[in-house]
Amino acid sequence: MILNQWYIVLESREVREKPVGVTRLTEKLVFWRDKSGKVHCLSDPCIHRGAALSFGECINDHVRCPFHGLEFDSTGRCVVIPANSVAKPVPENFVAHRYHTYENHGFIWIFYGDAEPGDLKPEYFDGLEKHSFHSRIDPWTTHYSRAIENQLDVAHLPFVHRKTIGRGGHTVADGPRLTWIHPKRFRVDVYNRSDDGQPAKFPDETPIKSPNTQHLDFIFPNLWQNYLTDKLRIVVAFVPVDGENSLLYLRLYQKMVTVPGLDKIFNLIFTPFNIRILHEDRRVVQTQVPKASKLDGDEMLFPADMPIVQYRRKRQELQKAK
């Protein structure tokens, strides 16, 4: 994982009145909402005897351990040890690890690391406020980095997706052209074509596309967008579970059909197609070894893999800068 980053880890609908326990970024975490609706997150094993706080309950905006009733506030500090009496102060070292949270766009982020977040508002894609969306969660038995790289891979389309989005035999990958929008976000323009005997072009030999044409868009550490048109986009959050498992939070955003009710039908019709595409990918990606990718691995890469190389370089840079 990359430390000191904002990771999307859940959708808002997954955390309601009761504590919720999940494994994310190889750790067991507990989430709950206070009376105002704000989401909080702590390490799930109780610091007393290791019982799961997520099996407890919410009381007075705190999460209470089911084993001995210890109560923890949103900062992780234990405020009540019933066995000691409420009249006795809680020892200063009774503090659980707390994760800063942020909630917007129906997603929940946590700041994963040992530093304080300098930016309390992680980035999301612009212009989606008026789009309706339908979401699905898809489990993959692979490291989240492999799943991300698959969505940056422009050369696999005519093979993995030869019966769906890769039809046409566009096996030659000109470019691809990669543009850094800022230090933790880049855009990839795709120029796949049929093999006419001419070698693949270098990125600077490809035309510069306008901002609103189809492209791929990635925000570190785990958020990706396939910008099809201004009215139709696919967004995926690649949520790390552990070293060999991840969850893909898939969303279809659209404003092509805006009539209330019909928009939901549109989303329900097209989401299964997107899941089919993902499963074509999943079938192959889950066979890759090692499970996690790395910059200095043994793979023999070619020019069309340039977005993957750029992703790995930046990922390694952020890991070393932790």
Summarize the confidence of residues 215-220 as an average pLDDT: 98
pLDDT band at 220; cut points 50, 70, 90: very high
- Better-predicted residue by pLDDT, 194 or 17: 194
Residue 321: the pLDDT is 86
Q: What is the pTM of this model?
A: 0.94
C-alpha dihedral (244, 45, 222, 231), degrees to nearest 10:
110
pLDDT exceeds 80 at position 120: no
Domains of the chain (ranges, CATH numbers): 5-112 (2.102.10.10), 132-320 (3.90.380.10)
pLDDT tens by residue, 299-320: 999 999 999 999 999 999 999 9
Burial class (CB in 10 A: 0-12, 13-18, 19+), 204: exposed
pLDDT tens by residue, 71-91: 999 999 999 999 999 899 999
pLDDT tens by residue, 88-118: 999 999 999 999 999 999 999 999 998 788 7
pLDDT tens by residue, 7-47: 999 999 999 989 999 999 999 999 999 999 999 999 999 99
As a whole number, the mean pLDDT across the chain is 95
Q: What whole-number distance in Å separates Cα of residue 77 and Cα of residue 90? A: 9
> How many CA atoms lie less than 13 Å away from 248 in the CB half-sphere?
29
pLDDT band at 322; cut points 50, 70, 90: low
Q: What is the DSSP letter of 70?
A: -
Residue 297: the pLDDT is 85
Name the packing angle between helices 262-285 and 144-152 (round to 10°): 110
pLDDT band at 121; cut points 50, 70, 90: confident
Strand pairing of 57-59 and 62-64?
antiparallel
pLDDT exceeds 90 at position 214: yes
Amino acid (one-letter) located at 207: P
pLDDT exceeds 80 at position 184: yes
pLDDT exceeds 90 at position 266: no
pLDDT exceeds 90 at position 269: no
pLDDT tens by residue, 48-61: 999 999 999 999 99
Q: What whole-number distance in Å separates Cα of residue 311 and Cα of residue 185? A: 10
